Amino acid sequence: MALPQHRGLRHLALRVIDLPRSRRFYEQLLGMQVVWEPDAENVYFSSGSDNLALHQIPAGELAAYQPPKGQLLDHVGVILDNPQAVDRMFADLSPKITDLGGAIVKLPKQHRDGSYSFYFSDPDGNVIQALYEPTISKLEWVKSKT
């Protein structure tokens, strides 16, 4: 049985409590560019080779929404070119992360597999790993057109 062919994991959709706040976070911290905004409840971003969707939790569900004590999704990652880029991103973004409603989760660290990263969360508690990974970081990526 042949496995389905795909081009990699390039799309993530997150439900958010406050769409304008989350939008500012992803635009200002990660430089995500809007590629489609079909309505006031949804926005789709890209960095050139991926797609991140933010979906406002509907008002009818928001009142009953109880944030989980933990999340099933451990984290998502953004790939950086080298360990120095991780350190630069950490230094540049640390004050902005908290100003925009996020938090630093783990400081920069060298991992056993040769990767290097730090972790931060968005305003909804979704954890993002800023990662240099020796194999993936060497791949060629499509750059954003903006």
What ranges do the domains of the chain cover? 11-59+74-138
What pLDDT does residue 5 have?
78
Please give, one letter per residue, the 3-state secondary structure of the chain.
CCCCCCCCCCEEEEEECCHHHHHHHHHHHHCCEEEEEEECCEEEEECCCCEEEEEECCHHHHCCCCCCCCCCCCCEEEECCCHHHHHHHHHHHHHHHHHCCCEEEEEEEECCCCCEEEEEECCCCCEEEEEECCCHHHCCCCCCCC
CA distance 18 to 8: 29
The verdict on domain 11-59+74-138 having CATH code 3.40.50.2300 is no
pLDDT tens string, the chain, 146 residues long: the values are 787 777 778 899 999 999 999 999 999 999 999 999 999 999 999 998 899 999 999 988 888 877 766 667 889 999 999 999 999 999 999 999 999 999 999 999 999 999 999 999 999 999 999 999 999 888 876 555 54
Residue 143 confidence (pLDDT) = 57
What's the residue count for the chain? 146
